Amino acid sequence: MPYYSPGESLVRERSDRFLRRMYFMRMLGTFLCFLPILSVLLERGASWIAIFLLTLNAFVWPHVAMMISQRSKHPNQAEFRNLAFDAIAGGAWVAQMGVCLLPSAVITSILIADRFSAGGWQLLRRAALFYCIGFIVCWPFTGMTFYTTVTDRTLWLTLPLSTIYIIAFSAANYSISRKLRDKQHELEKSALMDPFLGLPNRRLLDRRLMLEFERSKHDLACLMVLGVDDLKMVNDLFGREAGDYVLRSVSAILRQETGLNDFPAILGGDEFVVILPGVSEEEAYAVGYRLLLKTSEIRLSQDEGFQCSLSIGVATSKHHEDYHQWLATAERALMNVKRNGKNSIGSAGRAEAVA
């Protein structure tokens, strides 16, 4: 299977989604942080310069950060640099507040959760370093004093940060986790399905065989192994495209002509398998006849006289120790059919041809 390399447009689309998500969360976070920090700064009698810088950080920086990332040749790397600045600013404002307990604890906790969610331990360690740098640089300008008072105003202005932002953060993470689950489901499905023929591959077949064999201990079950007759001759005479067309056509017939509880799958090469739960050998033969007749309708544009045919081996689940023996019995029945002329159905006890 060839390695998959996403195109430039797809990479850019993913990057844009990441930037938009970070832009929204940064705008929301800086605004909600602005309220309790401003309250504490006013209580401490901070200078107008500090309040002006806080205003720039809250209402201008998110837009500047977005512009920097969008104009960068490497938007994601630029955004991680913006996250480093966010950490420096967080440490600086905690220092300016004199480590006022409630808003400082909430801001620090949100920074930790945000960075860990965005980049794991590596980004968290880097953010912690910049957070400490911002704190150490600004701490001397505050007189290196602690402000332990939490007024009612600061308490109420901290509540939106500790509720609204966390709810938005959880919603954003849920959206990401849901997309990851969907992608994981797609990957699991692609790992168990043949994309060319649209049928389960051998990996999924083995799982289903084991499951149906265990169920068959309390009920009937039949297994058919089907081989496309003379596929190598088709490839040699008309090219591999013709052979692929035959395989796709047989796959489509198996999907259309088997029941909802039946399980058609690829065994490998020119061979297929159909598991028939709750079906007797006579009923399996009836299914096989229908498949033989439908397959005989396949034609090739390269040769109007060509008529596709199948050889089918049938085995019931009785008298087998495990599903490997069950499959081996059906394969032996298929080999007997091919030796006796092909285009027919056979089992351990009998073989019947379709004219």
Who has greater pLDDT, 176 or 332? Answer: 332
Mean per-residue pLDDT, 333-353: 80
Query: What is the pLDDT at residue 135?
Result: 94
114 — pLDDT class (breaks 50, 70, 90)? confident
Query: What is the pLDDT at residue 34?
Result: 94
The 3-state secondary structure of 122-171 reads HHHHHHHHHHHHHHHHHHHHHCCCCCCCCCHHHHHHHHHHHHHHHHHHHH
Structure tokens given for 208: 């289903």
Q: What is the dihedral of CA 109, 114, 115, 121, to 10 degrees?
A: 80
The mean of the pLDDT values for the chain is 86
Structure tokens given for 224: 């058919």
296's CB contacts (< 8 A; 6+ apart) are: 307, 308, 309, 354
Let me know: does 124 contact 115? Beta carbons within 8 Å. Answer: yes
- For 340, phi and psi rounded to 5 degrees? -95, 10
- Assess whether pLDDT exceeds 50 at residue 354: no
Query: What is the pLDDT at residue 185?
Result: 67
- Assess whether pLDDT exceeds 50 at residue 355: no
By percentage, how much of the chain surpasses pLDDT 90?
47
Q: What is the pLDDT of residues 28-84, one digit of tens each?
A: 989 999 999 999 999 998 899 999 999 999 999 999 999 998 888 888 788 888 888
Q: What is the pTM of this model?
A: 0.54
Concatenated DSSP letters of 194-236: ETTTTEE-HHHHHHHHHHHHHHTTSS-EEEEEEEETTHHHHHH
